[in-house]
Structure 1
Amino acid sequence: MTSWWFRNAAVYTVDVMQPWASCLVVHDDRIAYVGEDDGARAHLRDETLEVDLEGRFVMPGFVDAHDHLIGGALAKVGVSLDGLHGKEAVLEAIRRYALEHPDRSVLRGFGWTPFTFGQGVQPHRTWLDSVTDVRPALMLTYDVHDGWANTAAFELAGIGAHSHDPNPPSGYWPRDPDGFPSGTCCEPESWLPIATALGMFTLDAVMEAMSQTLDAAPSWGITTAFDASPMVQSKSLVTEVYEHLVQRDLAEGLPVRLIGSYVARNPAMPPEVAAARLREMHHDVVSPNFSITTMKLFMDGVGPQHTAALLEPYTDQPDNRGPFVFPPDVVQRFIEAANLAGFDAHMHACGDAGVRGALDAIEQVQAAHGPLGARNTVCHLELCNIADVPRFAQLGVIANGTPLWGTDYRGEFIDSYPHLIGRERFQRDYLPYGALVRSGALVTFGADCPGVEVHEIPPLIQIEAAVTRQRPGRADDRPCGAHERVSLVDAIRCYTINGAFALRLEDEVGSLVAGKRADLVVLDQNPFTVDVHSIHAIGVRHTMLGGRFTHGGTF
């Protein structure tokens, strides 16, 4: 550790008492002073190094409040189908990849969406059979909620006509008339056995995935992240991965401060067992920059696959409202167990019934026990009924979202979503970040890779999307609900101090205030002065985590 005087800068503190300054002093891992040069001199040491930042922008390190920096990139291996539309284009990309990689015994890919092949068209395993020869193949959707496997992959995993669906009604395999799975794997429970058979989950594979995300995060300005799931299902592998991270942190320091979670996805598990496992992990997984503090729960699936739970039926499937993974009465017991044990709950909820069910469950827990000091989060909010928006602030529930999804993501969402839910519901209730901020709710942002591609994780990309509701860098793009735009001030708060609060770190990080940890970012340009459609392109010059440079080197 050392001492630094960063001066001649545009320091945006995210502290309402002192939003701007021109310099700050760092001693070891803490901020010693924020203000102007004259006041800084009293805080300098003999060894303090003076750094002229030549007017560059300094702000708190970004807090990504929902991501998968440990294992998210496991789902970003193989041929990219991102941006491709139609059966022929997709199969041609896979065919070329297979020819270029004759040495690979299995073929993997990622990036297709439920809209890739046309509205309501699901890909068939025989399509893959035609371009993958005899090798097993598995292609995951952009958000990993669904997969697409060929015949060889199903057979390698021992899945056939007489195999029971893994977790109906959300986790299942659509079937051919003879009962054999047709190719699509709905929700992770259905593709995980295939991925396991294909060798997707090993410590080496997770370490390779982390090299793309966790190790790269400082170059995007991220200093703290909530890891919503390590993306591996084997308890022994989770233990092995966490032990690796603890030892790495103790030896050299992790590149990012990580707050992890215990994932409960089985509603049949006794809630007290889930709370006990979380407590065990909280005590066993401890290092300066890594801890487990949260129970991750699932209300439902996702809208495009008709597995998000809705208040009213899907427009294109009038008899279907989508299933719950955890019905509200069940999730209530899990929230109660977590909160009573002193932990927070973080709930995946994409449909408006899923969001309402999560809020109802929290309300019931509070009615029985009081607030319990809990900082529970409902994440994704693909659809949130306008009547439920004010309930977040009323109940003290944190709302988390991924701004890039609130654009015409992949050039598909604006036209495709209304087919699922109707144009009125789409315009009124789709990712209402602006309404939530205006309601007084505490809103946090996170990239949620693999729900976005690795190159879309950087917070500046997500912040621009939140401010414009357009794909970054596309001033001529159709806005996806312009009324849900948020200000740049609010978007930055969602990626700094709000995220810190959600993770119970607001006294340590999230703003540049004397006494807090020296987590900061130096940007090449000031996002308040550049064109709004250029925010995504601002370079991250330096990143500091607790007084330690994690990107850009020292001065």
Structure 2
Amino acid sequence: MPNLPLRRTLLTLACLGALRHAHADTVIDNANGYTLDAHGKVVRFTALAFDDAGKLLAVGSAAQVKRKAAKGATYVDVQGKTVLPGLIDAHGHVFGLGTIASGVMLYGSSSLPAAVQAVGDFAKAHPERSWVVGNGWNQEIWKLGRFPTAAELDAAESARPVWLRRVDGHAGWANSRALALAGITRDTPDPAGGKIERDAQGNATGVLVDSAMDLMDAVLPKPGDVENRAALDGALAQLSQVGLTSVHDAGIGQMQDRLFRDYADHGKLTVRVYGMIADTTEDFDALAKNGPLTSYARDMYALRAVKLLSDGALGSRGAALLAPYSDDPSTSGLLFYPDAAMRAKMEKAMRAGYQVNVHAIGDAGNHQILDGYAALTAQYRSVGLRHRMEHAQVVQLSDIPRFKALGIVPSMQPTHATSDQNMAEQRVGHERIKGAYAWRTFLKQGSRIACGSDFPIESPNPFEGIHAAVTRQNSKGFPAGGWYPQQAMTVTEALRCFTLDAAWAAHQEKVIGTLETGKWADFIVVDQDLFNVVPAAIGKTQVLQTWVAGKRVFEKK
């Protein structure tokens, strides 16, 4: 006869194990749920269940879900609120988002005097800082018809260096002290892929465009580990608050990779990160030694892509155009590299097995990269890597079908259109604008668009992106009827490009992007039904809860 005390002990342990298992499952109940299926069709549900590993067990009616969940499951009643798949931003800059809040914020400055005043106020409030840095100025909003100058910035602060990045991140504004520290004089040549703005006498006026900003970055103090961790903490909190459960970080190096892995190892990475290595230089050589990292720490981190830059931005006239700018015939913008040099970078990444994602704004930039993809994807048989064009902002009409033919993913940012509407057509004219921000044209040919925001250049709030995609209007409802409304998306298409197709663009559609059995329980609870509110209200959606892998990482107080 078996030993009775041992038998009782084994029975007790078995019961405790069963009890633990019974309470491991969680059911989200009484939901007004929307998800997409694998084909992008809307599916309704009222409940979902996930296990203690954070994987979905069932999605459907309350009865269907109850049959799949363990008897002792924990029930969370969301009281009829709308539940959606966790949203994905396919193009952002995580550390940039966290860092930006610590400097001068010029995003709301409506005039040059207001911006100068804001810089002066910030400088007085922070006498301990050796540099005054900030972001967000936009001379187009100020209606200057020109760039601001160092002399104008000197009025705010002249003793310490001041360095302010433009809203698009492709130009910077320096005061005289900063120019001197960087050694920029009338004799300093324009670097390849960049431009030093000058006056009629050839003197630097204070604005550096694209790669010319590297001259300032070389003397700007570098943040340390404490600052970097603070930036990451701040960014993760912001991203969870707006309902993002995954982001594609467009350009990281060894420091960012180290911290992402460290945070993932210690359960502090509350948003999934799909990393793109910045360029194919030293950081790539170090990070690519073991090849692409397809998944790390339960799909919380991946590093299987490379981010390259073809040209600059439209607002600073750095975007490379096939013909001169309509509002400045003296320039056609800047290609950062000759065709051969750019193709060598693409080839290096493809040869190592990485997805190649290239920033291209202007039609010349897009054309250059499409030619590169045409030459290389067949050679390396890499169509399956789902190479991407980041922004695909102004594309000549004859090049748009090439995206589909070559299997190139247009990674686009809806709020760029509503932010750029004040100057885009002035820059490229009535004909070229037909291929700009052309979401409907891409969708009609069968391209899968991965949507993002390019935060912190734009707000990371994906509901503002969905609003822009559906209405082609800014947050103030301008213009009436939408800007080129024939290019708008439906609500379903906009949701898809911020979920399923963004996941697909990162090779992650089998684990995230929709709420389906076996995928991670990444979902959000919001305060209104996107499918039953007027389109103008979509951008005002508030996130009540954010869940990643079955863990609640944010709850609105």
List gaps (5 residues or longer) in structure 2: 1-22
- 1:440 equivalent among 446, 450, 463: 446
Question: Are the equivalent residues in 1 in contact too, given 2:389–2:410 (CA < 8 A)?
Answer: yes
Aligned with 1:147: secondary structure?
strand
CA–CA distance in 2 between the matches of 1:345 and 1:67? Answer: 16
CA–CA distance in 2 between the matches of 1:444 and 1:98? Answer: 40
CA–CA distance in 2 between the matches of 1:104 and 1:371? Answer: 48
Q: Structure 1 143/183 Cα, relative in aligned 2: closer, same or farther at 3 Å?
A: same
- 1:373 equivalent among 370, 384, 392: 384
The percentage of aligned residue pairs carrying the same residue is 27
Aligned to 2:551: 548
1:450 shift after superposition: 2.6
Q: Structure 1 278/517 Cα, relative in aligned 2: closer, same or farther at 3 Å?
A: same
- 1:23 equivalent among 47, 54, 58: 47
- 1:354 equivalent among 357, 360, 365: 365
TM-score, structure 1 normalization: 0.89
Q: Structure 1 388/377 Cα, relative in aligned 2: closer, same or farther at 3 Å?
A: same
1:394 shift after superposition: 1.9
Question: Are the equivalent residues in 2 in contact too, given 1:281–1:292 (CA < 8 A)?
Answer: no
Q: Structure 1 145/433 Cα, relative in aligned 2: closer, same or farther at 3 Å?
A: same
Aligned to 2:431: 424
One-letter identity of the residue aligned with 2:489: V
1:392 shift after superposition: 1.7
Aligned with 2:195: secondary structure?
coil
Question: Are the equivalent residues in 2 in contact too, given 1:300–1:308 (CA < 8 A)?
Answer: yes
1:285 shift after superposition: 10
CA–CA distance in 2 between the matches of 1:294 and 1:252? Answer: 24
Question: Are the equivalent residues in 2 in contact too, given 1:258–1:291 (CA < 8 A)?
Answer: yes
Aligned to 1:172: 195
CA–CA distance in 1 between the matches of 2:330 and 2:201? Answer: 25
Of residues 521-530 and 175-184 in structure 1, the stretch that sits farther from structure 2 once superposed is: 175-184
In the comparison of the two structures, how many residue pairs are matched?
531
Q: Which string of whole-angstrom CA distances, capped at 9 and with x for unpartnered residues, describes residues 29-86 of structure 1?
A: 1000111122222212133112222221111111111111133443454332224344
Of residues 172-181 and 43-52 in structure 1, the stretch that sits farther from structure 2 once superposed is: 172-181
CA–CA distance in 1 between the matches of 2:48 and 2:324? Answer: 55
Aligned with 1:307: secondary structure?
coil
1:527 shift after superposition: 0.6
Aligned to 2:323: 312
Q: Which string of whole-angstrom CA distances, capped at 9 and with x for unpartnered residues, describes residues 446-475 of structure 1?
A: 1111321xxx21111111111001013526
- 2:95 equivalent among 42, 60, 70: 70
One-letter identity of the residue aligned with 1:121: R
One-letter identity of the residue aligned with 1:394: A
CA–CA distance in 1 between the matches of 2:278 and 2:126? Answer: 35
Aligned to 1:297: 308
Q: Does 1:210 align with 2:271?
A: no
Aligned with 1:259: secondary structure?
strand
Q: Structure 1 275/136 Cα, relative in aligned 2: closer, same or farther at 3 Å?
A: closer
Q: Which string of whole-angstrom CA distances, capped at 9 and with x for unpartnered residues, describes residues 110-143 of structure 1?
A: 2112424536412111111122131111111012
Q: Which string of whole-angstrom CA distances, capped at 9 and with x for unpartnered residues, describes residues 294-338 of structure 1?
A: 011111111222221112211133243222113344333333332
Aligned to 1:450: 456
CA–CA distance in 2 between the matches of 1:525 and 1:417? Answer: 33
CA–CA distance in 1 between the matches of 2:140 and 2:556? Answer: 43
Aligned to 1:326: 337
Aligned to 2:156: 131
One-letter identity of the residue aligned with 2:539: H
Question: Are the equivalent residues in 2 in contact too, given 1:6–1:23 (CA < 8 A)?
Answer: yes
Aligned with 1:252: secondary structure?
coil
Aligned with 2:49: secondary structure?
strand
Q: Structure 1 350/202 Cα, relative in aligned 2: closer, same or farther at 3 Å?
A: same
Q: Does 1:201 align with 2:201?
A: no
One-letter identity of the residue aligned with 1:451: I
Of residues 536-545 and 347-356 in structure 1, the stretch that sits farther from structure 2 once superposed is: 536-545
Aligned to 1:399: 410
Q: Does 1:14 align with 2:14?
A: no
CA–CA distance in 1 between the matches of 2:297 and 2:181? Answer: 40
Q: Does 1:41 align with 2:56?
A: no
Aligned to 2:374: 363
Q: Structure 1 373/420 Cα, relative in aligned 2: closer, same or farther at 3 Å?
A: same
Question: Are the equivalent residues in 1 in contact too, given 2:251–2:279 (CA < 8 A)?
Answer: no
CA–CA distance in 2 between the matches of 1:487 and 1:458? Answer: 18
Q: Does 1:154 align with 2:161?
A: no
1:162 shift after superposition: 3.8
Q: Structure 1 553/322 Cα, relative in aligned 2: closer, same or farther at 3 Å?
A: closer
Question: Are the equivalent residues in 2 in contact too, given 1:390–1:441 (CA < 8 A)?
Answer: no
Aligned to 1:263: 278
1:177 shift after superposition: 6.0
- Bigger CA radius of gyration: 2
Aligned to 1:488: 491
Question: Are the equivalent residues in 2 in contact too, given 1:58–1:523 (CA < 8 A)?
Answer: yes
Question: Are the equivalent residues in 1 in contact too, given 2:326–2:429 (CA < 8 A)?
Answer: yes
1:193 shift after superposition: 4.1
One-letter identity of the residue aligned with 1:352: D
Q: CA RMSD in A?
A: 2.6
1:283 shift after superposition: 5.8
Question: Are the equivalent residues in 2 in contact too, given 1:139–1:147 (CA < 8 A)?
Answer: yes
CA–CA distance in 2 between the matches of 1:553 and 1:486? Answer: 29
CA–CA distance in 1 between the matches of 2:489 and 2:50? Answer: 32
CA–CA distance in 1 between the matches of 2:200 and 2:476? Answer: 47
Question: Are the equivalent residues in 2 in contact too, given 1:21–1:35 (CA < 8 A)?
Answer: yes
List gaps (5 residues or longer) in structure 1: 231-237
Aligned to 1:233: none
Q: Structure 1 284/346 Cα, relative in aligned 2: closer, same or farther at 3 Å?
A: closer
Of residues 59-68 and 177-186 in structure 1, the stretch that sits farther from structure 2 once superposed is: 177-186
- 2:401 equivalent among 349, 372, 390: 390
Aligned to 1:460: 463
Question: Are the equivalent residues in 1 in contact too, given 2:412–2:450 (CA < 8 A)?
Answer: yes
Alignment of 1:184-263 (within 5 A): 184-187=207-210, 189-230=211-252, 238-263=253-278
1:157 shift after superposition: 2.9
One-letter identity of the residue aligned with 1:291: A
